Amino acid sequence: MADIDRHSGMEKLRNMPQGSPENVKMLGLFMDVGAMMIRNGSEVKRVEDTLRRMGAAYGAERMDVFAITSTLVCTMNMPDGSVCSMTRGTRDGTKTDFWKLEQINALSREYCRQPLATEGLKERIEEIEQASAPRLRVCVGSVLAAGALAVFFGGTILDGAMAAAFAVGIWLMQMYFVPICTNNILFNFLSSFATGVLIGLAGHVLPIHEDKVMIGDIMLLIPGLALTNAVKDMFVGDTITGSLRLVESVLWAAGIACGFALAVFICR
């Protein structure tokens, strides 16, 4: 009996009308949007909601979306009964980029107000994918954050200035080393180790408090948003995603701690 039911289910699946090439292309673009959101640090609830809204604007009768940090699955059901389904891996580098998230969110809202053609949406997605936040603005933000936090946690003005100077080095590594080293744990370890060694060497020459300088620069690497999103995901019911992000955040933090600890041990 079970074999008959299974055979009947397979027959229904085979006889189900498949989506048109245009629908398949559009769903692929929706998947590009969702994967880009996940890679840049968005919550999975926002990803799922964005794809549902874009699908509804396109004319889909129902959008079934499932997202975790490593996988995105979406099935688009059209009014004519045709179905398109896709699965996308999203583990080719994860970071937090508010600038890109803002661009993606603006695109999704624009699409929901006035749906774009396939080629138009593809061009906009490629523009966002290839663009990046103004580098000078990111550098200035890193310098101000590191310097201010070093002073806030008890450092002197000189400590703040040194933390700001080493923040430029961290910014350079984030700009040019991240594309080469896509493993966040390894990047955090190497960047924190290099920064810690430089701070330790500077401490032998200048009258600075090395721990205060390190505190200011550590703040640029700590995965605060990823940890916050992990807790948030678990509270709203996305236990799998929250657990994955929590473990990932702890490993990132461990890489930072090990890098600075090794640097302190070497420069002692």
Average pLDDT over residues 32-47: 88
Which pLDDT score, from 0 to 100, does residue 8 have?
54
Residues 48 and 66: their CA atoms lie apart, in Å, by 7
What is the share, in percent, of the chain residues with pLDDT greater than 70? 91
Q: Residue for token digits 């006889």?
A: 15
Residues 57-113 pLDDT 10s = 999 999 999 988 888 999 999 998 888 999 988 765 567 788 888 999 999 999 999
Which pLDDT score, from 0 to 100, does residue 93 have?
56
40 class by beta-carbon count within 10 Å (0-12 exposed, 13-18 middle, 19+ buried): buried
CB 217 within 8 A of CB 163: yes
Residues 200 and 206: their CA atoms lie apart, in Å, by 10
CB 248 within 8 A of CB 226: yes
Residues 163-181 pLDDT 10s = 999 999 999 998 888 777 7
Q: Residue for token digits 């074999």?
A: 3
Residues 2-33 pLDDT 10s = 454 555 544 544 554 566 788 889 999 999 99
Instruction: Please give the mean pLDDT across all residues of the chain.
Output: 86
Cβ count within 10 A of residue 52:
17
Q: What are phi and psi of 246, to 5 degrees?
A: -65, -45
pLDDT band at 34; cut points 50, 70, 90:
very high
Which pLDDT score, from 0 to 100, does residue 243 have?
87
Q: What are phi and psi of 74, to 5 degrees?
A: -145, 135
CB 44 within 8 A of CB 238: yes
Average pLDDT over residues 209-226: 89
Which pLDDT score, from 0 to 100, does residue 13 have?
42
